[in-house]
Amino acid sequence: MFKITGWSLIRLYTTLVYVFMFAPIAVVVILSFNPQQFGSFPMDGFSLRWYAELAGNADILEAFGNSLVLGGLTAICTTAVAIPAAMAFVRYDFPGKNSLNTLLLAPIMVPEVILGVALLLFMRWLQQPKSFAMLLIGHVVITLPYVLLVVQARLVGIRTDYEEAAKSLGANPLQTFREITFPLLMPAILAGMLFSFTISFDDITATLFWATAGNQTVPVKIFGMLRNSISPEINALGAVMIVLTVSTPLLAGYLARRFARGG
């Protein structure tokens, strides 16, 4: 006879939570292969019709290109800021260090709606219109805490003995960073860049306040399509987004492990 225990209830509850979370995602992916205009189960067959129409939709392709460019630039700019900031916070002491570190990490604790409105009002105060540069700055602010935490965690684990040995052999600080510290930081840098790209690519809450009609991203485009009508192309686009956003963190973890092993 099956005996109900506390752990059994916890496992059952956990399973139900995961089913509740991932069942809608599975439905979107399955319906993206439905040949009919309206989704129904069981499906009448298997078709790539909506993926073909998606590939021929110029507006969606433009939004997809905007998302890729924005995500790539966000990853580059965020990493360029996070590396020297992490070096300063971990390797050096200076007045206001903890306050500045808290300030850079603060966006992770602030709702994105507040960040979106705040940056929009600040740019209006500066009398600057919405632009791609404003969108990029906003995404850098959102993703910087995540990359900074990843790089700092890796830098703390790197012993200073290696850097001191390089300096004792005549290397200057720049050579020491380029030849010793940077290669050891590479797993965290790659992981941080890919996570930054994923966060930027998926963001919609704050992007709605910053995007213009000419630089809409894929999530904003999907939101606009849902307000007008429910098109089967949305299922196909959603499936592509799911694959991309899931594979990118997995790739980040794989590359981090490879570089950590010296691969």
pLDDT at 78 over 90: yes
Q: 187-241, pLDDT tens digit by residue?
A: 888 888 888 888 888 888 888 888 877 788 888 887 777 776 666 777 787 788 8
Instruction: Judge whether residue 58 has pLDDT over 60.
Output: yes
Average pLDDT, the chain: 81
Q: What is the pLDDT of residue 262?
A: 56
Q: What is the DSSP string of 214-242?
A: TS--HHHHHHHHHHH---HHHHHHHHHHH
Q: How many CB atoms lie within 10 A of CB 180?
A: 18
- The architecture (CATH level 2) of 57-261 comes to Orthogonal Bundle (1.10)
What is the average pLDDT across 89-107? 84
pLDDT for res 39: 63
B/e letters for 17-26, b = 16+ CB within 10 Å, e = fewer, are eeeeeeeeee
| All structural domains of the chain with their residue ranges | 57-261
The full DSSP string for 61-128 is HHHHHHHHHHHHHHHHHHHHHHHHHHHHHHH---TTHHHHHHHHHGGGTS-HHHHHHHHHHHHHHTT-
Can you tell me the distance from the alpha carbon of 52 to that of 237, in angstroms, rounded to the nearest whole number? 11
Euclidean distance between CA atoms 122 and 127, whole angstroms: 9
Higher pLDDT, 32 or 78: 78
- Which DSSP string do the residues of 145-207 spell out, in sequence order? HHHHHHHHHHHHTS-HHHHHHHHHTT--HHHHIIIIIHHHHHHHHHHHHHHHHHHHHH--TTH
pLDDT of residue 76: 92
Give percent above pLDDT 70 in the chain: 90
Before 42, cis peptide (omega within 30)?
yes
**With 90 as the cut, is the pLDDT of residue 31 above it?**
no
